[in-house]
Structure 1
Amino acid sequence: MNTKLILVEGIPGSGKTSTAEYISSYLNRKNIANELFKEGNLDHPADYESTACLSKDEYYKIQSQLKSDKKSLTDYIIKNDDDYLIEYGKLYHDKKINISDEILNQLTDSDIYNLTPVKHSHVIKDKWIKFAKKAVTQEQVNIFECCFLQNPLTTMMAYHNTSKDYIIKHVKELEQIISELNPLLILLEPKNIEEQFDRVKKERSEEWLNFVIDYVTNQSYGQENNLNGYSGLIEFYQDLAELELNIFSKLKMRKILIKDPNSNWEQNYQRTKWPDGHPTIEVN
């Protein structure tokens, strides 16, 4: 196997999960060790999911508010330089710990994806560095869904309205960090974003749709660009997809661009293995 990391990217509904699952299944059939990390995985080795970043004072304030055994909290704490990272997603599901809605809201507000762009970038890159150092020694392929482009782009654009130059710089620094893993990037580019979301909103819950609309229209980018409602969501993801393609063109890693991914799944799956007639996922 000539790569240790496969990155599957694209906006919501473009087929990231199906593509990542297909690649994992293909590698299993070839008896190639691999591990698939989907969006939302609380044990993701390179990304953070439902994790708060607190200062020492903020951490001890939260700890003092808990009504349970303080020692049990340490199972969900990661000390990172001067920061205290609290895995509140795992903490919430631990029945031994009594965590109130008030504390949970405080932790959610301090989520790593709510940090300033500079702080967020620093914390995220630190975890990617740790992942890359470990992964290069392992005999397996890691398959990541949406944490290389979609997550940072959505956060930096929607939440902070960060400059495109800074976002590009962040992603190119991630590319450098993982270079020894000989990564492969697969980007799924929908033919028509509005048609895609018209389909996706029928497949997913109304709660999901309302959350996404609120996130991308009522934060800094949406307010600055006067985005509203469903049409604002479409406009945001059109802008994000354009930036994704811009970044994609600048990256030096091996990459595959799959246009209109929903048109012919079988043909697109084959491209993840043999784009342009040349093996991409090779078996030694």
Structure 2
Amino acid sequence: MDSKQRFLQIYHEFIKDDNMLPSELYIVSFRYITIYHLIFGYITLYTWTSAHPTYPSPYHDIMSTYEMRTRLIIVEGLPDSGKSTTAAMVAAELEARGRNVVCVEEGAADHPADVGDHDFPDFASERATILDTWRAFAAHAEPDTTYVFNCVLLQNPMCETMMRFGMSEDESRRYISDIAAIIAPLHPVVIYIDEPGAKSAIDGVLDERGDGWLNAVIDYHTAQGYGEAHGLRGYEGYIACLEERRERELRILRSLPVDSHIIPPSSDAKRISTVVDAIP
């Protein structure tokens, strides 16, 4: 005898009591029938979901609404495209909407997902250290906090893989995809500031940055890796490196399983608000 038949047997034996008034019998019957549907409805649901483990349960649906909330926003783009300004605007907009936000600038000494010194002896050691840093961040990120970073998903990896080590686009993509896989539980969103005119952007900050900065970035981009392999020299060679980097970054970004928004430089508060509207 299965559990359903046993329940019905007990119920019928119970209502045979001749001393029960009709009203009492009605109440008891209603209660037992209700209990029956609750119990066996649960058993049926449990049995079905056990046989279909990949089907989301009602509990899963409720929790997924919370878990799908974006907890990491990364602003990317070429040098001097406005990443820091945009990150600050995004953070302010999120805070105005009641979100708890931690905005960390590129190169910050206490950056939770980056290291201060990228002067690794080889790419293998750099990759291991950076991926471990990302794993630690993803594991300990506060569940009720949205983090806003810049440069750490595309710019830094591309500067190292492409510009320093001269690696191919596919090799860069695999490394960046490894990072994307680690941060996937945070449901990251990338905001990419697309500056098609690299030269005009750099020209606009030369007076502010000075010759020391310019000489350093030219040397970094042309004396090793991609620049050296392609015989690029001087200021024009540096700009050529940036233009190729932009093309690669956009292709890699579109291949990643992350939500992204590509926006023009100098986006105003209204545009940033529109972008934030689309972020869960």
Same fold? TM cut 0.5: yes
Matched, 1:11 2:78: yes
Please state whether the residue corresponding to 1:252 is helix, strand or coil: coil
1:196 alignment partner, one of 198, 201, 213: 201
CA distance in 1 between partners of 2:220 and 2:206 (Å): 16
Unaligned runs of 5+ in 2: 1-65
State the number of aligned residues: 213
> As a proportion of its length, which structure holds more helix?
2
Matched, 1:47 2:52: no
CA offset digits 1:16-51 (Å, max 9, x no partner): 00000001111222231111111110111111013x
Amino acid at match of 1:172: S
CA shift, 1:198, in A, is 1.4
Matched, 1:270 2:273: yes
Unaligned runs of 5+ in 1: 51-111
CA distance in 2 between partners of 1:203 and 1:179 (Å): 38
CA shift, 1:197, in A, is 1.4
CA shift, 1:134, in A, is 0.7
Alpha-carbon contact 1:42-1:49 (below 8 Å) kept: yes
Alpha-carbon contact 2:76-2:83 (below 8 Å) kept: yes
Q: Which residue of structure 1 lines up, in the alignment, with residue 32 of structure 2?
A: none
Alpha-carbon contact 1:113-1:155 (below 8 Å) kept: no
Q: Which residue of structure 2 lines up, in the alignment, with residue 229 of structure 1?
A: 234
TM-score w.r.t. the length of structure 1 is 0.71
CA shift, 1:13, in A, is 0.6
Alpha-carbon contact 1:261-1:268 (below 8 Å) kept: no
Q: Which residue of structure 2 lines up, in the alignment, with residue 240 of structure 1?
A: 245
CA shift, 1:267, in A, is 4.6
TM-score w.r.t. the length of structure 2 is 0.72
- Percent identity between matched residues is 31
RMSD: 1.6
- Superposed, 1:135-150 pairs within 5 Å as 135=141, 137-150=142-155
CA offset digits 1:86-135 (Å, max 9, x no partner): xxxxxxxxxxxxxxxxxxxxxxxxxx443322221111111101110111
Q: Which has the higher contact order (CA 8 A, sep 6+)?
A: 1
Alpha-carbon contact 1:7-1:183 (below 8 Å) kept: yes
CA shift, 1:214, in A, is 1.2
* 4+ runs deviating over 6 angstroms: none
CA distance in 2 between partners of 1:118 and 1:170 (Å): 11
Q: 1:149 to 1:115 in 2, by over 3 A?
A: farther
CA shift, 1:202, in A, is 3.1
2:130 alignment partner, one of 105, 124, 127: 124
CA distance in 2 between partners of 1:49 and 1:138 (Å): 25
- Superposed, 1:82-231 pairs within 5 Å as 112-135=118-141, 137-231=142-236
Q: Which residue of structure 1 lines up, in the alignment, with residue 53 of structure 2?
A: none
Amino acid at match of 1:272: V
